Amino acid sequence: MTHKILIIDDEEKLRSLLARIIKSEGFEVFEAKDLKSGFKKLEQTDIDVVLCDVKLPDGNGVDFLQNIKGSFPLTEVILLTAFGNIPDGVQAMKNGAFDYIVKGDDNDKIIPLLYKAVEKVHLQKKVQQLEKRINDKYSFNTIIGKSKGIEQVIDLAQKVAKTDSTVLLTGETGTGKEVFAQAIHENSNRVGKSFVALNCSTFTKEILESELFGHKQGAFTGAVKDKKGFIEEANGGTLFLDEIGEMPIDLQAKLLRVLETSEYIPVGDTTPKKSNFRLIAATNRDLKTESDEHRFRSDLYFRLNIFEIKLPSLRERIKDIGVFTHHFVKQFSEKTNKKTLNISDDFLQKLENYSWPGNIRELKNIIERSVILSNDDTLTSDVLPYEMQHQAEKNTKSMSAFSMQSVEKLHIQKVLNYTKGNKAETARLLEIGIATLYRKLEEYQIQ
């Protein structure tokens, strides 16, 4: 890539000489005789570095520097002066100049300085591109799906993002709760600050407390130095607590205190600290039921439930399955160095007929597996797992009224009626996993 240099100087001979020298180094050079025409060049061309005289017919380069940095913050400016002036040099650096050099005395410095300046510009642009990619990755525009359910959820999330309100994301495992949490953060007033995520189901109570609140040296065996907790790390930004329904009751009380006072005490310490963070929590549990049955603090539940967003399951977004499938097929075809595979109708139909207990995460895994197994340029149902290929056969099998399956189906239906369709509570009462329940519902065709 050829870097572009703009020389602004009213001395035509010196300007032409500089241009020839800089061009010989492989740079593309533009020239301007005054500040007005120089600024016009900046508006027309993506200039990397400006070499600007201090004394010009229509103004002072030191003052003009602020206009350049205000409108083109990634452009670096090297100021040239016929006479060294310490106050001007100091002010130039304060205004954001890359350097300030004296004509004639410092000519041998110009080319090395240009290389350093363009290197800085290159790094700044790279950082900007990375930041844009991160922002794009977590923007609401990149959330896949056009079904009514997901569009309503996106609308709610966009509205709450600009506030500082606590958000509770609910829904089954694999529905994309962390993606939404990131998108809310990236579209909030705290964008650019820390986004700190902690899964409450990953740790024991003691480790979770230390991870959340931090600890002092010597607080427990193995605490060889002070450690910042996630609450401190999230100061000014967003703290995302995933699977908050798994948090032990006594830690829930401590978290509630932080939410109400913004104060917390690290493990082994006695001095309170403050942290200003926005909380986004997520759970696949029914916290209302959990709090009614004293397995989750009701006061914390009400504090978390300021703004609840329930993410729909993939079964409720059947029209989005095709969109996800095309997205993941393209992604994994590229990852495995294959030409993007076509998708057969029977492949897509099997996906749409499946119950998806693991939701989007499960679909992503199935697509990756299918792309790896496929030997042709089209994905067909024979690369899907056995239970997905034969789900229709399984569903149409006749069932004796005296069989164990018939009894099981009737019992599941009764418990489902008792919980008024609450599948999480049904699974709990049946003492089976939620994924197992969904497989049973699909197997027995229970609506």
Q: Is residue 395 part of a domain?
A: no
Q: Are 298 and 197 in a shared domain?
A: yes
Q: Is residue 139 part of a domain?
A: no
Q: Are 151 and 293 in a shared domain?
A: yes
Q: Are 303 and 154 in a shared domain?
A: yes
* Residue 47 backbone phi and psi in degrees, to 5: -80, 135
Q: Which of 284-293, 343-352, 410-419 has the lowest mean pLDDT?
A: 410-419
pLDDT at position 78 is 92
What single string gives the DSSP state of each residue in 235-296? Answer: TTSEEEEETGGGS-HHHHHHHHHHHHHSEE--BT--S-EE---EEEEEESS-HHHHHHTTSS
What total of structural domains would you count in the chain? 4
Read off the tokens for 411. 């019992």
Q: Is residue 383 part of a domain?
A: yes
Domain boundary residue, one of 280, 310, 340: 310
Q: Which of 55-59, 91-95, 183-187, 426-430 has the lowest mean pLDDT?
A: 91-95
Domain boundary residue, one of 310, 331, 347: 310
Q: Which of 171-185, 258-272, 298-312, 416-430 has the lowest mean pLDDT?
A: 416-430
For residue 18, give the CATH number of its domain. 3.40.50.2300
Q: Is residue 136 part of a domain?
A: no
Q: What is the mean pLDDT of residues 62-81?
A: 90
Q: Are 223 and 182 in a shared domain?
A: yes
Residue 437: C-alpha distances to residues 40, 408, 412, 413, 432 (Å): 67, 11, 9, 11, 7
Residues whose CB falls within 8 Å of the CB of residue 373, separated by 6 or more in sequence, listed in order? 383
Q: How confident is the model at residue 146 (pLDDT cuts 50, 70, 90)?
A: confident
Structural domain range at position 385: 317-390
Q: Is the pLDDT of residue 1 over 80?
A: no
pLDDT at position 84 is 64
Q: Are 181 and 66 in a shared domain?
A: no
- Tell me: the pLDDT tens digits for 104-129? 766 778 899 999 999 999 888 887 77
Domain boundary residue, one of 350, 366, 390: 390
Q: What is the mean pLDDT of the chain?
A: 88
Q: What is the mean pLDDT of residues 181-189?
A: 93
pLDDT at position 218 is 86
Q: What is the mean pLDDT of residues 99-108?
A: 78
Q: Are 110 and 50 in a shared domain?
A: yes
Amino acid, single-letter form, for residue 143 = I
- CA torsion angle for 196, 433, 143, 374 (degrees, to 10)? 120
8-state DSSP, 399: -
Q: Is the pLDDT of residue 144 over 60?
A: yes
Report which secondary-structure segment, H or E, holds 167: strand 167-170
- Tell me: the pLDDT tens digits for 314-333? 988 998 999 999 999 999 99
Q: Is the pLDDT of residue 394 over 60?
A: no
Q: Is residue 287 part of a domain?
A: yes
Out of 82-86, 182-186, 387-391, 442-446, give the one with best mean pLDDT. Answer: 182-186
Q: How confident is the model at residue 395 (pLDDT cuts 50, 70, 90)?
A: very low
Q: Are 333 and 418 in a shared domain?
A: no
Q: Are 228 and 341 in a shared domain?
A: no
Q: Are 255 and 162 in a shared domain?
A: yes
Q: Distance between CA atoms of 216 and 375, rounded to whole angstroms? A: 57
Q: Are 124 and 51 in a shared domain?
A: yes
Q: Is residue 425 part of a domain?
A: yes
Q: Is the pLDDT of residue 202 over 50?
A: yes
407 CA to centre of own chain = 47
**Exposure string (b/e) for 67-76, b if CB count within 10 Å is 16 or more?**
ebbeebeebb
Q: Are 166 and 296 in a shared domain?
A: yes
pLDDT at position 221 is 81
For residue 412, give the CATH number of its domain. 1.10.10
Q: How confident is the model at residue 402 (pLDDT cuts 50, 70, 90)?
A: low
Q: Is residue 100 part of a domain?
A: yes
Q: Are 112 and 220 in a shared domain?
A: no
For residue 341, give the CATH number of its domain. 1.10.8.60
Q: Report yes or no: 268 and 218 within 8 Å, Cβ to Cβ.
A: yes
HSE-CB for 358 with a 13 A CA cutoff: 7
Q: Distance between CA atoms of 61 and 56, rounded to whole angstroms? A: 7
For residue 197, give the CATH number of its domain. 3.40.50.300
> Which is higher by pLDDT, 349 or 108?
349
Q: Report yes or no: 78 and 101 within 8 Å, Cβ to Cβ.
A: yes
Q: What is the mean pLDDT of residues 397-420?
A: 74
pLDDT at position 133 is 59
Q: Distance between CA atoms of 396 and 337, rounded to whole angstroms? A: 40
Q: Is residue 399 part of a domain?
A: no
Q: Report yes or no: 284 and 245 within 8 Å, Cβ to Cβ.
A: yes
Give Dmax over CA atoms of the chain in angstroms: 104
Q: What percent of the chain has pLDDT over 90?
A: 59
Q: Report yes or no: 49 and 98 within 8 Å, Cβ to Cβ.
A: yes
Q: How confident is the model at residue 199 (pLDDT cuts 50, 70, 90)?
A: very high
